[in-house]
Copies of this chain bind each other. A is one copy, B any other.
């Protein structure tokens, strides 16, 4: 299986990160990953159809916001908070701590 693309830290760009974070569903996923080391993406199947989820996780991954670890048929997602904090200090903390009623 081909490893899904995820950019090196040096290839992460602010416009792509902000775009990835600008969708309410993706913000919901990102906030739910806040306190998790990693999350099996199956937990989101209740929140949205699988094809929608696959699309949103791809946008987050390709922008460098999230990364995936594959174990057999399972995908475990986590945030790239440490790298993002180095590139854009304060950004992820602002986004992760935004009150849910101010998201959409």
Binding site for B on A (CB under 8 A): 12-16, 18-19, 21-24, 27, 87-91, 93-95, 97-98, 102-104
Q: Is the CB of B91 within 8 A of A14?
A: no
Shortest CB–CB separation between residue A93 and chain B, in angstroms?
6
A89 to B93, alpha carbons, bound, how many Å? 9
Shortest CB–CB separation between residue A49 and chain B, in angstroms?
20
A33 to B19, alpha carbons, bound, how many Å? 21
Number of identical protomers: 2
Main secondary structure of the interface of A (DSSP, over half): helix
Q: Is the CB of A21 within 8 A of B24?
A: no
Smallest Cβ-Cβ distance to A84: which chain B residue: B94
Known: A23-B15, A103-B14. Contact between A91 and B94, CB under 8 A? yes
Q: Is the CB of A88 within 8 A of B93?
A: no
Known: A19-B19, A19-B22, A22-B19. Contact between A14 and B90, CB under 8 A? no
